Structure 1
Amino acid sequence: MDMPAYVPKCLLITEILMEIFEFVMASEDSGPPTLANVARTCKAFQAPALSILWRNLTELHPLIQCLPHDIWCKDRGSITFRRPIQMIDLGRFNFYASFVKSLFINSPFMDDVQKLLFSALPLLYPPKIICNRPSILPNLLHLRWIAETPNKLSMIYWLLTGSLKTLHITSVCPEQDTIPFLRRLVGTCGTLRKLATCFYGSAITESVYLAVCEMVPKLVSLRSYSCSAPFAAQVAPALSSLRHLEELQLDFNNTATFIGTGVNFLVADNPFPSLKRVNLALNRLSECTSMLDILRYCDLTHAYFSVREYADPHTVEYFLADLSRKLIHSHTSLRHLCLLQNPARLPSDAILREEYIIPGIALLPLRAFQSLRHLRMHVQCGFDIHDGVLMTLVSAWPRLRSLHFGVYKDLPRQTKITLGGVAGLVRSCPRLANLSLPLDARLSSSYAHERERVLAFLNADTIPRNRKITSIYVGESFIHNSAVVAAILLDIFPRLERVVGTEVDRVVWSGQKDKWHEVRLAVEKHQEELPSKRIEQEGNDDDDDDEDEDEWEYGA
């Protein structure tokens, strides 16, 4: 492990080494085996290489393999210890464990080897130390743990550290096991910045959530909190004491079934002065009203609302108006907005009755959010939107980058947006990169005639082009002439590769689906014949200098 004389001095700089080793780790041709060999090259390479190699684990098995092989044996498919584990056996284990920064457990099931390790740990420490158990991963920063049994929940005590920054815990354990864990969490991980608690099954009791109410305010460093479980409304009052909270995700589903203390959320002048991102899952859209009052003074950048029950068009209209009327401080800051309605079933006559269609003017209040970059509107209602309304909307969102709008199946009458409207959308939003939009593409004339119609709508001599979009989703849009539609779409989106429609078997839709499939085939054929040089020349001529954020993950 001595330093070779031929190593350039620049490679002795840790930051440069880390950049190189990150590239080695991500490379398909090299990856972890090559990085492991690099760690054995010299002392200067060892620590940086091992810190990347062991940084992220999805299970403890790789560490357990560092224990002496004479400790256990396999007999008839089961694993048992040949002899007790001693402190001296943990030498290599502890060395590599010091490099682990995150442990993300994705499965509730644990193999026999890991179970044996945790069962042996209490035997290594005197009884007085067990109450303050040392962590087997002393430098752990991020932890995701799934506890389907009380025994599995007790194992997490051997992983908690004072330096832990992120914890995502999922538990179905009863309150006699869950409440002690919450108390231990506060005492051990006081510097947590991000916490997600997901309680299900026997963990859902009033006592558990009252314990959460006591725990959360004590985590004064918390910046992000997620509570994915019924009865999360019980936790909400305690959150207002977290003045530094920036992200909040709460699942309020099924709160109506909770018979508890009846704690109400007292609305202060500004309960969340630092809140930027909010994600609320509700039973009914009407329940959003009180939450909008709470968020009135926040400068939100992300606002996601999802509801489980069906909301009639009148309720949707009222909520959209409420958004712009109450979130005044977010008019210039909100960049991500999502309204998702996913009921188990629609009213049986929703397809036939006109009152299930929302007029396009109901969307106009959203123009107040002038910084919008990502808009997702999926509600179980049809939208009577024409090109004029679309142009009025998008003219207020010049930075829009993704638009996912009203493409649920079973409502083919929901739009009057033509290909001319799509061209106008591209002209108003030059940074658009993702598009889901139902269309009225019932074109029957020639390509030349339809192209002139688009130009006349735009009052321009040329059709604007968008070279970022490669795929669009059109739902159950009406269509007549597949060849004309494909040609116009390729004029607007020269790099278009896929046109996707809803795959359903309804008789009303069967002919439309076939025609959209023809559009897709025409687009794919065009791209196959397109010279590669043309794509290279078009390159990045419309790069966006502004930072393009990914859409925030939905769900708590």
Structure 2
Amino acid sequence: MHRALEIVELVENICAHLGPADLVSLKTDATRDLALLARTSTIFLNPALDVLWRSQDSLVHLLRCMPHDLLVIPEVGPPRRHVRTIAPPIRLRRPILPTDWERPLFYMCRVKFFSMGNPARISDVLDVFGQCPPAQYVFPNLEKLWWHEPPFKHFSLFFTPRLTSIRLFDVEADFSVVSNHILRCTHLKSVVLCVKRGDYDPAARSSWPFSSIVRCLTHIEDLHVPEIDSTAMEHLAQLPCLKGLHFSYQSALEEPRPFERSVRFPALIQLGVPLVTVATTLLKFFWQTPLEKLVMNGTDRIPMTKMAASEFYSTLAAHCAHASLSEIWNSGQTFLVEPTPEQILTYSVAGDILQPLFSFSNLHKVELRHPVGFDLDNATILDMARSWPHITIIKLVASTTRHMPTRVTLEGLYAFAEHCPQLRDLTLTFDATLVSRTPPSDEPRHNQLCLQCLNVECSLVGDPGPVAEFLFSIFPRLWAIRTAQKNFADGAWKPVSTRFKELRDGEKSRSPTKASCFPTPSVGIILTIRSVVVTI
């Protein structure tokens, strides 16, 4: 055997290369190779077994190491698509003896990542484990624990002082069982606590102890909780390592007390909140925070007024570092019936409201949704394009099937071709009934070579030929045109797509050497329809 294999670190790296990432089941080939290495030589024994046992998604493998006369372990058939298989429970045949633990103890200390997916299947076994454990914990060196289903009565057998990451689902069922364990482990770096989806009972939420738990976390780097109070937010604002913060049911908080203008949330780069209105109050706890990604993915059945939108954008610009923000997503839905003129006046978002966003010059992805759309003009679009030179995705979407009238024309669309060379996906309602010459002089138009998808939403269109020619002259690599209109397949934009395809095919035939530069979809221009559901 080569002398290099006597170096322990080298052997460990070889075995680690065969193994999976955290909590990912080993492939059959990897399992076989690691088992062969472990049996080949004592040099490989411990490094191979460490990788083989490092990540476990059930206790079955450990139970199979116990004497055959101790347990009845029914076989589980292969998983069926779209069918949830209920595994038969594992039963004890006799009491557990101290000698039964000799072989399992050799492997238990090697497990670092464990996922408990079906506690009910091994409930009887865990009852006995708690009465005669070989040690205080089943896996004494456990670092990451995922628990997918209640009950949590056996939680203490797995919650070791070494834990740095936990992920618990449906915890409101008996959360009091696990909260004390979490409070005793102050070195947690990643905590994900998920309550049952759809539970909005105010009485139940009033008893959620998430704020008290959060106030005890001092080394946290990534936190997912349903909601917390203002005191817990103040605690998080001072933590030097917190990078990700996500809420699922957070309600608006009272405005924070005046604080010193030093950096707050100094390491936070990701914030996830359910609603825009909630984001506004949370952002008031920030100051010069280097936030990179802001996501709002809830459903707000109370439409956001232009005043609320103005407060949100101005608060974001006032409390976050302008050089850091790269993504802002509002991917939820805001429900509103077909707007009246009064509602358009109340809910429309004009350029002056969006102006604070233009201070974030490093934005790459922007998705904004407002009930009736955006009251923009060509000057605002030009200002937007100049402010976001690195932008790759822009989606300005209204939540109803009918947008308010727009003042943006094809001339305004040209601003993105001139100032946003990396833009590849654009969603915008504009007026394509008239085609003007842009630029007005004899200078050649800029060719933007990245845009591939254009969603015109509810844009009006005139003569399809000139519109297609204009789009082809500035976006020659465009291959997908989408719209919010239900009858798009037979609507006014279909001739535009057809003519655009003819122009592009003609360009390819004239310049065969350049044809490879164009993305080639399977069937010409892809025409897709975005379904829109309006809830009254």
Question: Residue 93 of structure 2 corresponds to which residue in structure 1?
Answer: 82
SS in 2 for 1:381: coil
2:447 matched to 1:464?
Answer: yes
2:413 matched to 1:431?
Answer: no
Question: Residue 164 of structure 1 corresponds to which residue in structure 2?
Answer: 163
Distance 1:502 1:301 in 2: 30
Shift of 1:274: 1.7
Among residues 30, 33, 36, which one is paired with 2:31 in the alignment? 36
Question: Residue 377 of structure 1 corresponds to which residue in structure 2?
Answer: 368
Partner AA of 1:124 in structure 2: C
Taking a change above 3 Å as real, the CA distance of residues 35 and 283 of structure 1, as seen in their structure-2 partners, is closer
Question: Residue 82 of structure 2 corresponds to which residue in structure 1?
Answer: none
Taking a change above 3 Å as real, the CA distance of residues 69 and 374 of structure 1, as seen in their structure-2 partners, is farther
Shift of 1:295: 1.2
Question: Residue 269 of structure 2 corresponds to which residue in structure 1?
Answer: 277
Distance 1:249 1:511 in 2: 43
Partner AA of 1:274 in structure 2: P
Distance 2:492 2:154 in 1: 53
2:188 matched to 1:204?
Answer: no
Question: Residue 195 of structure 1 corresponds to which residue in structure 2?
Answer: 191
Taking a change above 3 Å as real, the CA distance of residues 103 and 411 of structure 1, as seen in their structure-2 partners, is farther
1:176-224 CA distance string (max 9 Å, x none): x52352222222x321112233345589354543xx4443333221223
Distance 2:65 2:464 in 1: 62
Among residues 470, 480, 495, which one is paired with 1:498 in the alignment? 480
Q: Is the 8 A contact 1:418 1:441 kept in 2?
A: yes
Taking a change above 3 Å as real, the CA distance of residues 511 and 380 of structure 1, as seen in their structure-2 partners, is farther
Q: Is the 8 A contact 2:56 2:115 kept in 1?
A: yes
Question: Residue 476 of structure 1 corresponds to which residue in structure 2?
Answer: 458
Distance 2:405 2:160 in 1: 54
Partner AA of 2:458 in structure 1: E
Trace 1:7-156 onto structure 2 (pairs within 5 A): 13-14=10-11, 17=14, 21=18, 32-39=27-34, 40-41=36-37, 42-43=40-41, 55-61=54-60, 63-70=62-69, 71-72=71-72, 74=74, 79-86=90-97, 88-89=99-100, 93=104, 98-104=109-115, 109-110=118-119, 112=121, 114-125=122-133, 133-134=136-137, 136-148=138-150, 152-156=151-155
Q: Which moved more, 1:355-364 or 1:9-18?
A: 9-18
Distance 1:316 1:98 in 2: 54
Q: Is the 8 A contact 1:301 1:333 kept in 2?
A: yes
Taking a change above 3 Å as real, the CA distance of residues 25 and 305 of structure 1, as seen in their structure-2 partners, is closer
Q: Is the 8 A contact 1:271 1:294 kept in 2?
A: no
Among residues 295, 308, 311, which one is paired with 1:315 in the alignment? 308
TM-score normalised by the chain length of structure 1: 0.71
Among residues 175, 178, 183, which one is paired with 1:178 in the alignment? 175
Taking a change above 3 Å as real, the CA distance of residues 397 and 67 of structure 1, as seen in their structure-2 partners, is farther
Partner AA of 1:178 in structure 2: F
Shift of 1:111: 5.6
Shift of 1:65: 4.9
- Residue segments in structure 2 that go unaligned for 5+ positions in a row: 76-86, 520-536
Question: Residue 547 of structure 1 corresponds to which residue in structure 2?
Answer: none
1:55-106 CA distance string (max 9 Å, x none): 555544455455555421559966432234455555665555555443456x
Trace 1:131-530 onto structure 2 (pairs within 5 A): 133-134=136-137, 136-148=138-150, 152-173=151-172, 177-187=174-184, 189-199=185-195, 204=204, 206-209=206-209, 212-229=210-227, 232=229, 235-240=232-237, 242-251=239-248, 253=250, 265-269=256-260, 270=262, 272-277=264-269, 279=271, 281=273, 285=277, 289-305=280-296, 308=300, 309-324=302-317, 326-327=318-319, 330-339=321-330, 342-343=333-334, 345-347=335-337, 349-350=339-340, 354-355=344-345, 356-413=347-404, 415-442=406-433, 453-454=437-438, 456=439, 460-467=443-450, 469-480=451-462, 489=471, 492=474, 496-502=478-484, 504=486, 511-512=490-491, 515=494, 522=501
Question: Residue 545 of structure 1 corresponds to which residue in structure 2?
Answer: none
Taking a change above 3 Å as real, the CA distance of residues 267 and 291 of structure 1, as seen in their structure-2 partners, is farther
1:284-308 CA distance string (max 9 Å, x none): 72x6554333213433333345662
Q: Is the 8 A contact 1:481 1:515 kept in 2?
A: no
Shift of 1:311: 0.8
SS in 2 for 1:389: helix
SS in 2 for 1:248: strand
Partner AA of 2:268 in structure 1: K
1:219-262 CA distance string (max 9 Å, x none): 22122323214x65574354345354333333454569xxxxxx
Taking a change above 3 Å as real, the CA distance of residues 453 and 25 of structure 1, as seen in their structure-2 partners, is same
Q: Is the 8 A contact 1:36 1:49 kept in 2?
A: no
Taking a change above 3 Å as real, the CA distance of residues 62 and 79 of structure 1, as seen in their structure-2 partners, is closer
SS in 1 for 2:161: coil
Q: Is the 8 A contact 2:90 2:125 kept in 1?
A: no
1:126-175 CA distance string (max 9 Å, x none): 8xx7xxx31x3344333332343xxx21233222222222222233445x
Partner AA of 2:314 in structure 1: A
Q: Which moved more, 1:32-41 or 1:268-277?
A: 268-277
Q: Is the 8 A contact 2:290 2:325 kept in 1?
A: yes
Partner AA of 1:118 in structure 2: L
Question: Residue 524 of structure 2 corresponds to which residue in structure 1?
Answer: none
Q: Is the 8 A contact 2:243 2:267 kept in 1?
A: yes
Shift of 1:395: 0.9
Q: Is the 8 A contact 2:264 2:287 kept in 1?
A: no
SS in 2 for 1:218: coil
Distance 1:54 1:480 in 2: 66
Q: Is the 8 A contact 1:164 1:191 kept in 2?
A: yes
Taking a change above 3 Å as real, the CA distance of residues 156 and 264 of structure 1, as seen in their structure-2 partners, is farther
SS in 1 for 2:153: helix
CA root-mean-square deviation: 4.6
Distance 1:51 1:255 in 2: 47
Shift of 1:34: 1.6
Partner AA of 1:453 in structure 2: R
Question: Residue 553 of structure 1 corresponds to which residue in structure 2?
Answer: none
* Identity level (%): 19
Taking a change above 3 Å as real, the CA distance of residues 268 and 498 of structure 1, as seen in their structure-2 partners, is same
Distance 2:9 2:399 in 1: 57
